Chains A and B, each alone.
Chain A
Amino acid sequence: MNMERFDPVTLEVIRNRLDMIAEEMQLTLLRSSCSPIVKEGLDASASLFTVDGVTLAQACAIPIHLATLIPAVAEITRRFPTEAMREGDIYLLNDPYAGGTHLPDIALVVPVFTAGRIIALAATMTHHQDVGGLAAGSVPTNATEIFQEGLRLPAVPWARAGVFDETLTSVLRANVRIPDVFIGDLHAQVAACRLGAARLAEAAARHGDNTLLTAFGLLIDRSEAMTRAALRAMPEGTWQAEDWLDNDGIALDVPLRIAVTATVRDGTIHFDLTGSSPQARGPVNAVPSGSLAAACFAVRAVTDPAIPNNGGCFRPISLTLPEGSIVNPRMPAPVNARSATIKRITGCMLAALAGAVPDRMPAPSAGELLVMAFGGHWADGSAFVTGELLAGGSGAGPGYDGVDAIETDATNCMNLPAEAMELEAPIRVRRWSLRRGSGGDGTFRGGLGQVKEYEVLSTIAAPLSFSHRGERHAIAASGLAGGGPGARAVSVITRADGTTETIASKRVTTLAAGDRVVVETAGGGGWGEAARRDSARRDEDAANGKIVLEGSA
C-alpha cells in the first residue's frame, strides 16, 4: 500500500465527498419516486462503484440493500465490459439468477466518465410497486416459479450513448400494471445516477482523476483494515443459532428452518448456513446476495457502524450457502418473499453472535415486516396498486424495554399513513393501534406489535387482488435470559357476509366491497425473569394500555 505517500487529509476530503454524493443520489430517488413503497417505505438505495465492481460509497435507508448491488454490477460489467461502455449508456437488471435479488428490485447502472475516461459506475436500486406477474404488487405468496413473479430482465442496455431503446421501453410498459408510475420511477433512477456521475466528474476535475482513483483503492483498503481490526477485538469462537419461518406460502403447515453457525477467527467472520431448509416451492427463497446483506448488517451492528461503508468492509466476510437450499435456490424457484428470509437470517446471525457479545444483545425482535399489496380498478376503470409495510415490536434488552411497532434488523421501512392510503385507494382504515399485551413479559418487556383494520369500499369496479405476506404467525419471537416470548401475529379476513378466514401467514385472495381485514403484528421477546420486573414499570404499562391486566381481558 502506498498510504504513506498519499495525503491523509485529501483522502478524508474525498471520502466525505463520495458519501455525500451517494446521499444526494438517494435523496433524488426518494423525493421523486411515485411508488408508495419508495416514497413512504424508503425501499431504494444508491451507490458508487469502482470500474472493477467494488462498492465505493453507499446510501441505503434499508440494510437489506447493503451489498445487493454488487452481483448486479458484476453481471452488467461481465456482459458489457466497461472498456466498451460509452457516456450516456444506461443498463438495467433484475434477474435474481443473474445478479438481482427479486424482480421488483431493479438495478440501474450508469458509467461515470471524465474527459472520455471511465472512472466509476453510478448505481441505484429501487423497489418498483408493480413489475407484473401473478398478482398486483408483484409479491405473490403463492408463486411456485419465477416466471409467475413478473417481468425478468437480464443485464440489458436501456440507452446507448444517450439514445433510449424505445423497443425495450414499450416491452417494459406492456408488462406492468401501472406503466406510467413504473417508467417514472425508472427515470428517477436515471436522474439519480446522472447526478452521481456529474458530481463525481466534478470531484475528478478538482482532484485529478488519477488521484481520485488512487484514493478509491486506499479507502477500500482502509475499511477492510478497520473491519478486520474490529473483528480481531471480538473473542474468537464458533456459535450457533436457529429460527423458523412460518411456511413457504404453499405448504402452509410446514415451517422452514434457518440455521447459522458463526465463526470469528483472526479478523475474519464466517457464516455457515448449512442445516437451513431445502429450497421451498413457494417464494421465500433468497439468492446468495441476501445472506451477504444480512451478514454485512450483523457485522456492522456488532463491530463499529462508523467504519466507512464500502466494499472493503465485505472482504473479511465469507459465507457457506448450500446449493439447492432456501438460502441458495436453483432456477426457477420463486424468490419474491425473500426479505422475510433475509430478516430471519439476520436475526439468527445476531443471535449466534450473542455468544461473542452476550452483554450487548437484546432478545429477538418480532423480525416481522408484514407486506401487503392491494390492487384493482376504481369504478371509473382506472387502476390502482398500493402496499403496506407493518413492523412488530423489538426485543427487550438488559436495562431497557423493547420499542413498540418499530423496524428492526435488515429492513427499515416506513408504514403507510391511513390518510395516504385512503387518498389513493378505495380502502378505509377503520382502526390502527398498538397491540395491547403483545410484548414478551420479562424484567424488561418486549415491544408491542400493532393492529390495523382495513375495509374495502364500494367504489371498486370488481373485487380487488390482495396479497398478504406475514411471518411469526406460527412461531413466536422467543425471550432471552428468562424473558417470555412475544405474541404471535394474527390476521383475519371478515367477509361482507360475516364469515371469517384466518390467514395462515401468507395468502393471495380477492377482497370484495365490504370485506374487512384485521392484521395484528407480532411482539418482541422479553428479557429477564418476569417476576423481577419493577412494579412501577408494570403500573405505568397498565395505565398506558400496554399490558392486559389479569381478569380484565
Chain B
Amino acid sequence: MTKAGGGFAVGIDIGGTFTDVVCTDGARSTIFKLPSTRDDPSRAVAAALARLADEHGIASSAITRFCHGTTVATNAVLERKGATVGLIATEGFADILELGRQMRRQMYDLALKPETPSWLAPGARRVEVRERVAADGSIVTPLDEDSARAAITRLVADGVEAIAVSLLFSFVNDAHEHRLRALIGEIAPGLPVSLSSEVDPAFREYERTVVTGFDAYVKPRVAHYLAGIADALAARGAPCTLAVMQSRGGLAGTETALRRPVRLFLSGPAAGLLGAASVAAAVGIGDIIAIDVGGTSSDIALVEGGRPSVRQEMSVDGYAIRVPTLDVVSIGAGGGSIAWVDGSGGLRVGPRSAGAEPGPACYGRGGTDATVTDASLALGLLDPDGFAGGRIMLSPARAAQAVADVAGRVGLTPEQAALGIHRVVNAQMADGIRLVSIRRGIDPRGFTLVPLGGAGGIHAAALAEELGITRVLVPRFPGVLAAAGLLVAPVAHEVSAAFHAPLAAVNAEDVSGVLATLDARAAALMAADGVTPSDATIRHEADMAYVGQSHTLAVPVDTAAPLAGLAARFEAAHARINGHATGAAVKIVNLRTVHEATAPIVVPTAAPEPGPSLVAERQARLPGMDRAAPVPVHARARIAEGAAIAGPAVIAQEDTTTLVPPGWTARALASGALLLVHGEP
C-alpha cells in the first residue's frame, strides 16, 4: 500500500478487551484488532503503529491524522481512580454537592443509598468563600479575597490534586470564578482548576456543581493519559497531533479536550454512531436508526438527515451529568438478558443479565440461565463453531437444556419458548426505538435500521417488521465501526451561554451580540484544532420554553434575523414533541453555537473472496417461518457486489450474523454494506 498525497489517517478505539485500528489513505483501508493493554493504553497505540509499519508498510512518518476514542474518563469514574478534588462554593452553599435534589431512584427500597456523588469532594474537602451574585448578575457581596486565599490554602494543604469552583449564578456573572482561578494560580501554580461557568454555564446549582466536580475529578488522569499517547506518537516520529472524540460526536485537539475533559465520557459510543451514519451516507441514506446490541444492554440512536441528535445530559455510573452528548438511549436488554418465569407463570426477559461472565449457558462457563443468545442458538440462528470468529465455542446442548427449563415452567415447547424469548426482547428493543423516534415526534417507518456490534444482525429484521421499517443496512465491518467513525468525525465545538429572558422583552441586537461572542470563542477553539474558519459550518440554537416551564427545547436561530419566526418554531417543536402548543408567552433560556468541520467519508470495506457464497444449510427457525427447516447459510466475505439473497437465509461473517427472514431480500452494495429490503422480490 502506498502513501497518497494527504498521508494516512489512523483511527484507534480502545475498548475494554480489544483495541480496534482502522488506517486509510482515502482509497484503501487497513483494519485489525489488538488486545487492549489496560494498565497502559499507550502500549497498544505503540503496538498498532509498529504493526502498521511492519505488516502493512505504513511508516509512522506517513501518518498525518490520528484520531482516538477513549474510555479513560469513564473508567476513572467507574473505578474511582480520579483525582482528590477540592470544591469551592459560595458562602453557605458548600453542601450543595451532597444535598442534591433529594429524590431517590429506587422508590420502593427499604434500605436507601446516597443518590449524589458526594465522594467527589466529601465535606472535609469542601470550602466556602464569601461572595454572592444575584439572579440578574449584579454583585450582592464582592468576593472577599482573604476568605478566598484561606479557603484555597486549606485545600492545598489537604493535598488536593484538582479544584472545582462552583459559585451561585456564575452562569450569569463569572467574574468571581475567574478571580478564584487566578488566586489558585498564585497559591498553587499548575494545579488543575475547573470553573462551573466554563464547564456548564446553565442554571440549577446542584447539576452544575456535579458536572464541574466530575470535570476536575477526571482532568489529571486524562491529561496523563493523553500525554502518554502523544509521546507514543512522537517516539515513532508520527508528524500528527492527537485528536480525541468527545461525547457529542466531534473531535477536539488535546489542548481543547483538556479544558473540559468531562466531555470525553461516551467517546467510544459516539464514534460508533458516526461510523454507522457514514456507512449509510456512503450509500445515500441519511435517516437511520442505529442499534448496538451488547451483552447486558442495547444502545439505540437516531440520525436524521445525516446528523445525529444531541442532548444536553447523560448518565455515567448512574449519575446524571449535564454534558452535550449524542442522544443514545440505553435499554437493559441484550444478548445476555436472562429469561425467567414470574410468580404467576409469565415469561419475562431481563433486566438481569448473564453478562460476559459466566455468560449465556451455551458459553459453558457455568451459566445455567437461558439467555437471548441461548434462544438464538436453540433456534439454529447461530453457528456454534463460528461465533465471535470462532473464539468462543457454543454448546447447543447447554442452550437447549436452559431453554427447556424455562419452557417447562411456562408451559411451552422449547421451540415456542425460544421464539417467545426473542419476541419479548424484540418488543423491548422496539420500545427503545420508539423512545428515540415516535417519542420525539418522528415516524420511524421512513428510516433505515443499522445494526452495530455483534448481535444486532440477529434482531434487526424482526425489529424492523415490528416497527414497519422496510430497510436494514448491515455494515461490512460492524465490529470496528467506532474506529472507522473516528476517521469521519467532524472537528466540532459547542459553546453556550445562559440568556434568561422572556421573548417579548428581547431585542435582536442582544441576541446577535451574545451569539457573536459565542462564535468568537468557538472559532478560537476550532483554530486551536487547526480548522480555518472557511472550512467550518456554523449553526445557532436557542433553548426555549414557555414562561414558567423548566424543560427546554432547542430551536434553530437565524443570525440574520434572530427573532424572526422563533416563537412559531418553538411552538411547532412543542406541539411535535409534547403534543400541544398553547400560544402562551415564550422565553429564551440558553443560546448556543455549534461549529463543525467535516471530514470526507471513509468506509472500510474489502474485496469479495473467491468461491460460492452458499457454504452450508442449517436447521433453523427464523422469524416469519412457521416451523424449523433447512436454511441456506452464506459466507459474507464471498458475496459479490450486486448479488441478491432471498430469505429465509442466514449470512455469517466473523463479527456478526445477519438473519434474512422470509419476505426479505439481502443485496450486497458497492460500498460493501448489505442492504436488506422487506417486501421486494
Contacts and interface: CB of A to CB of B under 8 A. Distances in A.
Given A433-B95, A543-B124, A225 B548 contact: no
The 4 A-B residue pairs with the shortest CB-CB distance, nearest first, are A544-B123, A34-B548, A191-B579, A431-B92
Interface string B332-346: 000000000011111
B108 A16 contact: no
A434 B98 contact: yes
Given A28-B578, A301-B110, A543-B123, 13 more contacts: A32-B549, A32-B551, A40-B550, A191-B580, A222-B345, A225-B343, A297-B108, A305-B107, A307-B342, A362-B112, A405-B98, A431-B93, A432-B99
Contacts of B122: 543-544
Contact of A413 (B103, B140, B549, B551): B103
A39 B104 CA distance: 16
B635 interface: no
A423 B203 CA distance: 9
Given A413-B103, A415-B102, A403 B574 contact: no
Nearest to B347: A8
Given A8-B412, A9-B347, A414-B101, A33 B135 contact: no
Given A13-B423, A184-B546, A419-B205, A39 B551 contact: yes
B166 to A, nearest CB: 11
27 contacts: A7-B420, A9-B347, A9-B419, A9-B420, A12-B348, A12-B420, A16-B424, A28-B578, A32-B574, A32-B579, A34-B549, A36-B550, A180-B548, A184-B582, A188-B578, A191-B578, A194-B579, A222-B342, A306-B342, A403-B113, A406-B102, A407-B104, A412-B104, A417-B204, A423-B500, A433-B92, A545-B124
Contact of B124 (A7, A39, A306, A544): A544
B102 A8 contact: no
Nearest to A25: B579
A383 B349 CA distance: 52
A385 to B, nearest CB: 10
A551 B206 CA distance: 33
A11 interface: yes
Highest count of chain A CB atoms <10 Å: which of B423, B549, B577: B549
Nearest to B99: A405
A131 B94 CA distance: 36
| Secondary structure dominating the interface of B | loop
Interface stretch (A76-84, A115-123, A332-340, A394-402): A394-402
Contacts of A3: 345
Interface stretch (B17-25, B426-434, B506-514): B426-434
Given A190-B580, A195-B579, A24 B439 contact: yes
A183 B582 CA distance: 9
Interface string A19-37: 0100010011011111110
A84 to B, nearest CB: 26
A230 interface: yes
Given A9-B347, A20-B434, A412 B548 contact: no
Contacts of B410: 8
Interface string B549-570: 1110000000000000000000
B122 to A, nearest CB: 5
B4 interface: no
Contacts of B431: 16-17, 20
B111 A362 contact: yes
B203 A419 contact: yes
Contacts of B98: 404-405, 434
Contact of B580 (A188, A394, A414): A188
Given A8-B346, A16-B431, A402-B112, A415 B101 contact: yes
Highest count of chain B CB atoms <10 Å: which of A32, A190, A362, A543: A32
Nearest to B431: A20
Nearest to B115: A406
A34 B580 contact: no
A434 B95 contact: yes
B203 A433 contact: no
Contacts of B94: 433
A418 B124 CA distance: 23
Contacts of A360: 110-111
B580 A417 contact: no
Given A417-B204, A432-B96, A403 B112 contact: yes
Nearest to B207: A417
Interface string A333-373: 00000000000000000100000000011100000000000
A405 B101 CA distance: 9
Given A42-B103, A430-B92, A433-B94, A420 B204 contact: yes
B420 A8 contact: yes
Highest count of chain A CB atoms <10 Å: which of B100, B124, B140, B550: B550
B168 interface: yes
Contact of B110 (A27, A225, A362): A362
Contacts of A447: 112
Contact of B102 (A9, A223, A414): A414
Interface residues of B, number: 70
Given A8-B410, A9-B423, A16-B431, A31 B578 contact: yes
Nearest to A199: B438
B428 A16 contact: yes
A229 interface: yes
A24 B104 CA distance: 20
Nearest to A450: B99
A550 interface: no
A11 B113 CA distance: 34
A283 interface: no
B270 to A, nearest CB: 24
A300 B108 contact: yes
Contacts of B35: none
Contacts of A543: 122-124
B465 to A, nearest CB: 12
B104 A406 contact: yes
A538 interface: no
Contact of B427 (A16, A390, A394): A16
Contacts of A304: 343
A345 to B, nearest CB: 16
Given A9-B423, A190-B580, A226 B342 contact: yes
Contacts of B100: 405
Interface in A191-232: 191-192, 194-195, 221-223, 225-226, 229-230
B411 interface: yes
A63 B107 contact: yes
Contact of B168 (A230, A402, A419): A419
Contacts of B578: 28, 31-32, 188, 191
Contacts of A7: 420
B157 interface: no
Interface string B487-526: 0000000000000100000000000000000000000000
B427 A229 contact: no
A230 B342 CA distance: 11
Given A230-B343, A545-B124, A405 B102 contact: yes
B363 interface: no
Contacts of B115: 403, 406
Contacts of A230: 343
Nearest to A63: B107
A127 interface: no
B93 A433 contact: yes
B454 to A, nearest CB: 24
Contacts of B168: 418-419
A453 B91 CA distance: 12
Interface in B572-596: 574, 577-580, 582, 584-585
Contacts of A63: 107-108
A7 B419 CA distance: 12
B57 interface: no
Contacts of B203: 417, 419-420, 423
B227 interface: no
B24 to A, nearest CB: 42
Interface string A508-546: 000000000000000000000000000000000001111
